[in-house]
Amino acid sequence: QVRLVESGGGSVQPGGSLTLSCVVLGTTHGSYCRGWFKENPGQRHEGVASIDRDGTTDYVDSVKGRFTISQDNAQNTLYLQMTNVNPEDTGMYYCAALVFNQPGQKCGSALSGNYDSAYWGRGTQVTVSS
């Protein structure tokens, strides 16, 4: 059984920093890509950052230069370091192990919704306000 468990969310003031963590428990068959996604009530699920097994990262434009995705393969843990946050960063953040049916598909394409299936965590809330 696969479980992804996020932690690290909370309330932070604009300009502040926060680091999210996600422990991946179990074997995510066929998944070489990990990512962070954000969701707010009434809005669509949107990609934030991705990282593949070789460490190649991709980010959506709104977080480039502010967020850093990383992973500790030995600990099977995914991180999202968030700096200089703003109110638009508010949302429920989910980590995911993404699966592509076609080999060689670029991990970063998952941020646009181009993946075939995924293992999801339950999310951790981030609220940015003064």
- pLDDT tier for residue 24 given thresholds of 50, 70 and 90: very high
82 confidence band (pLDDT: 50, 70, 90): very high
Q: Could you tell me which residue, 37 or 76, shows the higher pLDDT?
A: 37
Higher pLDDT, 26 or 107: 107
- Burial class for 70, CB neighbours closer than 10 Å (0-12, 13-18, 19+): middle
Helix (H, G, I), strand (E, B) or coil at 62: helix
Is residue 118 within 8 Å of 99, Cβ to Cβ? Answer: yes
Highest mean pLDDT among 25-39, 48-62, 97-111 belongs to: 48-62
